Chain A
Amino acid sequence: MQPLRTQNIGLSLIKEMELRGSKIPGVVSLAQGIPSFETNEHIKKAVIESLSLHNIGKYSLSPGLLELREMVEEVLRKDGISYDHNNEIIVTAGSIEGLAATLLAILEKGDEVIIPNPSYAAYAEAVRVAHGVPIFIDLHKNDNWALSIDALEKAKSAKTKAVIICQPNNPTSHIYPESTIRELAEWAKNNNYFLIFDEVYKDFNYTAKPIFHLAKDSKYRGNAVYLRSFSKAFSMTGWRVGYILACKELAREILKVHDSLVTCAPVISQYAAMAALRYQDELINDIMIQYRKRRKITLAHFNKLGDYFECTAPDSGYFFFPKILFKNSGSKKTAIEILEKAKVNIVPGIAFGPAGEGYLRFCFGRSEEDLNEAFTRLKNYFHNSL
Chain B
Amino acid sequence: MKLIFQIYLKFLAKIILKKFRPKIIAICGSTNKSTAVAAMARVLSPQMEAAASPKNFNAEIGIPLSILRIVPEGASKIERWSSIALRALQQVFSLKTYPKIILLEFGMHAPMDAEKALSIATPDICIFTNLAPSILSHTDKSEQYNKTFSYFLRRLPKDTALITNADDPHLEELAQFFPDKVSRYGQNPPSDWKLSEITDTDSGQEFNIARNGEIFQVKIREFGLHHAYIAAAAFALSSELKLDLKKIQQEFCK
Chain A contacts to B: CB under 8 angstroms: 42, 54-55, 58, 60-61, 65-67, 70-71, 73-74, 77, 82-88, 218-219, 221, 248, 278-282, 285
With A83-B223, A285-B74: A61-B137 Cβ-Cβ less than 8 Å: yes
Q: Which residue of B is nearest A277, CB measured? A: B56
Closest Cβ–Cβ distance, residue B103 to chain A (whole Å): 15
B35 touches A86 (CB 8 A): no
A70 touches B204 (CB 8 A): no
A42 touches B224 (CB 8 A): no
Q: Which residue of B is nearest A278, CB measured? A: B56
Sampled A-B contacts (26; CB under 8 Å): A54-B138, A55-B140, A65-B137, A66-B134, A66-B136, A66-B137, A67-B134, A67-B137, A70-B34, A71-B56, A73-B224, A84-B225, A84-B226, A85-B31, A86-B224, A87-B224, A88-B223, A218-B202, A218-B203, A218-B221, A219-B202, A219-B203, A221-B223, A248-B223, A278-B76, A282-B76
A73 touches B35 (CB 8 A): yes
Docked Cα-Cα span, A282 to B31, in Å, equals 25
Q: Which residues of B contact A285 (CB under 8 A)?
A: 74
The answer to the question of B3 belonging to the interface, with a C-beta cut-off of 8 Å to chain A, is: no
Give how many A-B residue pairs fall within 8 Å (CB-CB).
78
Docked Cα-Cα span, A280 to B75, in Å, equals 10
The answer to the question of B86 belonging to the interface, with a C-beta cut-off of 8 Å to chain A, is: no
Q: Which of B56, B78, B221 has the most CB of A within 10 A?
A: B78
Q: Which residues of B contact A86 (CB under 8 A)?
A: 133, 224-226
With beta carbons under 8 angstroms apart, the residue of B31, B75, B225 that contacts A70 is B31
Q: Which residues of B contact A88 (CB under 8 A)?
A: 223-224
Interface of B, helix, strand, loop or mixed by DSSP? loop
With beta carbons under 8 angstroms apart, the residue of B55, B77, B133 that contacts A74 is B55
A281 touches B226 (CB 8 A): no
Shortest Cβ-Cβ A-B pairs, 3 listed: A84-B224, A66-B137, A82-B222
Q: Which residues of B contact A282 (CB under 8 A)?
A: 74, 76-78
The answer to the question of B196 belonging to the interface, with a C-beta cut-off of 8 Å to chain A, is: no
Q: Which residues of B contact A87 (CB under 8 A)?
A: 224
Closest Cβ–Cβ distance, residue A359 to chain B (whole Å): 38
Closest Cβ–Cβ distance, residue A269 to chain B (whole Å): 16
Closest Cβ–Cβ distance, residue A88 to chain B (whole Å): 7
A42 touches B78 (CB 8 A): yes
Closest Cβ–Cβ distance, residue A285 to chain B (whole Å): 7
A82 touches B221 (CB 8 A): yes
| Contact string against A for B residues 215-247, beta-carbon threshold 8 Å, 1 for contact and 0 otherwise | 000000111111000000000000000000000
Q: Which residue of A is nearest B78, CB measured? A: A282
Inter-chain pairs besides A42-B78, A279-B78, 10 sampled, C-beta below 8 Å: A66-B30, A66-B31, A66-B137, A70-B31, A70-B32, A82-B204, A84-B222, A86-B133, A86-B224, A281-B74
